[in-house]
Structure 1
Amino acid sequence: MNLSIFETDMREDIVTKLLGGDIDLETSRYLDRLLELASLEEAEHQFLIDPFDRSVALVFQLFNSSDLDPWDVDLTIFLEMFNERIEKTENIDLPTCGKLVRMAWSILKNQASSLIERQEKSLHYEEEEVWDFDGGWETEFDDEDYNFSLGVLSGAADDKLPSMFEGRIHRDESRPVTLVELLMGLQSAGKLAEEQRLREAIAKERRESNERARARFSGSLHVENLENDLKRTWNALKNNTSETSQSVELSDIVSTLNQTSLKSGMNEEEAKAEAQVTALVSALFLTNRGYVDISQEEGSNGKIVLENLWKDAQDFSTLTKHLHPESILEDNKIV
């Protein structure tokens, strides 16, 4: 039947069923909104013709608003009425059917979203406040514990004590153990824990000692010997030069330093390694300070050659004072 409430072609029974079926539209809390929406010329239901379609569209439009509970719309009733109408109608208006299905899907989506939101809110409950009261040692014992302790101290429980150590303590898994075995196991575990703590303390002390030693000697050992290495390398270079050539291969300098180290009592392997490192490092420093010039022949294995730039110099210390009037050493450190 036509609705006098809306003064337009709609069906009151359709609106009532979609809103739950048990309401009176004239007293419904949605009446004012329904009337306001029904009067809007741009509302979607205004473009529909059939009263069924207009009534469904009116309700669906109303509940697209976020401030209304989408669960107040009974989509099950809509599906039943919609299927019945499809079966009985000869000429189906497919665009209108599509519009109603789209609007129903929007309501269903809002219902699902609100359900998820309610579920999340139920999980974020406030934890009950716990009264954290530390009453001291006296709150850790009850009357039974007190009576037992009193019986042991007074001797009243002497007859029962032996049986306590003879009984078996059963667990869900593994074999049963006696109380004596349990106490002995705890004692052994305590000893193992103490030994482990002792080992950790010794290891920690050893690490700290090594770190202190490294901090004390790092960066000083090589600096203290660098000037001596430069002098040894320059002397080896000077000894390998001739009147016709001031150029000497680095390998010849290494050989000279190696022989010197062997004579000082160093074993052959250490002497060779020390000579190679000393010659290469010193060659770079001597080049940087202007004593020599360094070059390398072409090729991946090209020979490294040092050229003495001060042919007439006979003493390293004298040459150093000449090249660096302001001493490059201060308190035996390179500056």
Structure 2
Amino acid sequence: MSNKIIDHEVIQHLLFHKSLSGDAEDSSRIERYIEMVKQAESGEHLTIDNPFDKSIALAFELVIQQKLDPWAIDLVKFSSLYLKRARKERINLVVAGKILYMAWRILNMQSHDVMVNAEKSDNGDGGEDEISWGDLAIDEWYSDDETYSYTKMVVDKQKLPIIEPVRRKAARRVSLIELIEAFDKARKEAEEYQLLERLRKKEKERILREARSRMKGTVHEEHFEQDVEKVWKRIQQFNGRAIPFNALCNFENKDERIATLVALLHLAQDRKIRVYQRRFPFGKIYVKNIT
């Protein structure tokens, strides 16, 4: 089967789903996918600067070059091919690994929802849960959790830690549109997460500036270095584990709480620790030694 036939099948697959689309936004998104297929055919996708769009375009290229059936894609085979291709093109493996991981989680969640909704249908209780970076409990692109381990395995070229989505293996493979939609959703989640990280960073810098300004000429200023040293010693006792902010001070004592927070911001600025929230803006504050 030639690539031209595969290209035609891929485009027909996308056009079929476009014909089923009920709104302009979905149609526009599928049109963008079709354009990516054309770019993949001509090699133009390799010049795309945006790492997320490039990762999606790479998926189309793989389907075309490897002659994969757009109606029944083997996820394990696709994932292996995808990461090999990402290495070859020197695409940011952290981004590629994250997007692939997130796409798997989305597809797995969708499969789980189908199973749960089917079980609940008799009671009329259903609904689809949304999955986000917050649900994955990550604080940065590289963090000490399962997604970090996944990406590290990708970078270190270890065996892919892939688990088949619930019931997909037994029931059916995933279609190209499902896979690309999962990639696209992962891209959007990642962009939103990066925006929140920038906002967090700006807010942290603002709080630190204000705190230092208020401390000038006060008793707190005289004890600032001692506070920093005391908090740093407490953090080191946790041996690199994530620490809830309230475990580092008497949270009920306002002065101690403020002094500890200022010390943490100082240590974060010195790149000794990472301060983050798993759910912004009202989630618990965590601290992690990164030295």
The one of the two structures with greater contact order (alpha-carbon pairs below 8 A, sep at least 6) is: 2
TM-score with structure 2 length normalisation? 0.24
